[in-house]
Amino acid sequence: MSVARRRFRIIKEIAEGGFGKVYLAEQISSDGFSRIVAVKLLHAKWSSHDEVVMRTRDEARLLGLIRHQHIVKVEDLTSIDGKCAIVMEYLEGCDLKWMIQYLKEKGQEFPRAALFEIILGVVSALDAAYNGQPLQGGDPLRVIHRDIKPSNIFVNVAGGVKVLDFGTARANFAEREAKTQALAFGSQGYMAPERMLGEEDTPAADVFSLGISLYELLTLESFGRIPPRPGKFNKKIDQRVADLPLRGREEWCQLVRDTVRGMMSYEPSERPTAAQLVDTFEQLAQDAGDMGMRRFCRTVVSEAKEALPELDTGDPLCGQIVDEDVGADSAVPATPPMSSMPAGPAVQQVLGQGGSDPSAASSGTVSAVSPGGAASGSAGDGGGSGGAIGLVVAGLGLLAVGGIAVVALLIGAAVFMGGASDTPTPEPTTVEAPAPEPKKAGPTGANIVSEDTRADAAKAKTTLKYSDSAGGEITVANRTGFKATWDGKADFVIEAMAEGRYSTAIVKADGKRVRGQSFTVAGDKPSCTFTFDADAGRWTGGCE
């Protein structure tokens, strides 16, 4: 007769969201061995939802394959009472979003040596995830995180740093169950310009997001809106970098400024790689001359953790012992850790931040919880009703972007901090969805990838022209779901284009890129014609 392999004593509820709950638990094996873990248990209604379960397994497998000292660990996938259960490592500490809030309230700055050691761990993790050779063999997974921000960087009281929440990650691995392609991803306030414009993902976008995060950690202030146009973008970045609050030798201060500015370069090719940044941050940390990370975590992080309120929801499962289902099989491969560097050196709307469309995140809070000072009902920072601050856990959410349902799956660390909090404004993150078949519109070389499905939007017949007969590579997108690609060699006629602003990303025939140019379709006019002047690098025309 088969028996359950393991039992879990549920100590307390950590968080609850629309798709499940997370518990602090003691895992008890049949041989008497026990350990503390965090268990995410899907609500019963989602356990029979094939898409949700497949994506849960996929993301857990990914984290099983890329184990690294600075990347959160998912230990196992199993089932309890017929519900999908995720067993995760337990970390005690807080994330950097909460740390910004805590330090600001205390009137303190983030110690520079500790901060640069933490960022050193992050770039080590990003480099290993993308370039590292798995010890079990095979090609690098080419993981791009796509949602780097302070709430996804965790520091524990023992002096460690972890990159959380690879639920929006893009990667190459054969064992995935859900065969999908990316449509939208990321958190608006940290999104690289090329991501805003719908261009192909590269590791350089993660470096940009980390640069924005580093700015916020140095200043304890939000960076704010990221302008998609290069002129306004560079003006804002240059001013913000020049105003960084730095003290010390001028050579060191200038290296900090140059590093931050390079990470936030408009062009992806001009940003340093994560591997190149390893040496830079090691040098910056060594020369900072103030509190290092171990002392910082032992003192300040411990104090910040204790400042968080406890969460007490009266969950009846707390205090109970539950059995793993008989015959439950592990879904996470038992593989050696991924090769890594040494310990030290080692969408929201795709367009714009200021005018976010409320339809972009229409439904489905998720069960991941933001450690950044409050529980969040969004997929980016996670969170649910009465969630625990200081927790990032596996979560699943459904978002709607331009009428396309997107499953947002978050896998992160389950870390105990406890405490309920008011829910802030959500910061949605969307991830992978089935890629629609391109729809031909006009000549060969012009494809509508996804449509704006707003039923109430006025539409106008729109003709797009390109001044250079050699054509180019043009991407046209709006913030409510529309995306099209076009080679510019013949007119692109769209019979019914929804009103609103459309941003474009263009690679001209000579290889030069033009970003940040846009045109606006007027829904109260019967037709619109816009021509891109390749010499001037801008759109002309209008609606009549």
Buried b or exposed e, range 178-194, using 16+ CB within 10 angstroms: bebebbbbbbbbbbbbb
How far apart (Å, rounded) are the C-alpha atoms in residues 311 and 289? 38
* Contacting residues for 227 by C-beta, under 8 A, at least 6 apart: 233, 236, 516
Place of tokens 């290069």: 230
| Residue 83 · residue 47 · CB < 8 Å | yes
Q: Indicate the pairing of strand 500-508 with strand 472-477.
A: antiparallel
Cα 358 to Cα 369, 426, 459: the distances in Å are 21, 11, 20
Q: Is the dihedral of CA 478, 484, 486, 490 positive or negative?
A: negative
Contact 516, 229 (CB under 8 A): yes
CB atoms closer than 10 angstroms to residue 242: 9
Exposure letters 367-381 (e unless 16+ CB within 10 A, then b):
bbbbbbbbbbbbbbb
Give the residue among 433, 391, 435 at the shortest CA–CA distance from 415.
391
Supply the Cα-derived Rg of the chain in whole angstroms.
Answer: 24
Looking up tokens 């038992």, which residue turns up?
A: 334
Which 3-state string (H, E, C) describes 162-198?
A: EECCCCCCECCCCCCCCCCEECCCCCHHHCCHHHHCC
Which DSSP helix (H) or strand (E) runs through 62? helix 50-65
Structural contact between residues 408 and 159, judged by C-beta atoms closer than 8 angstroms: no
* Contact (Cβ atoms closer than 8 angstroms) between residue 197 and residue 475: yes
Q: Tell me the C-alpha distance between 163 and 68, whole Å.
A: 10
Q: Point out the residues that are catalytic.
A: 147
Determine the Cα–Cα distance for residues 467 and 487; give it in Å rounded to an integer.
Answer: 12
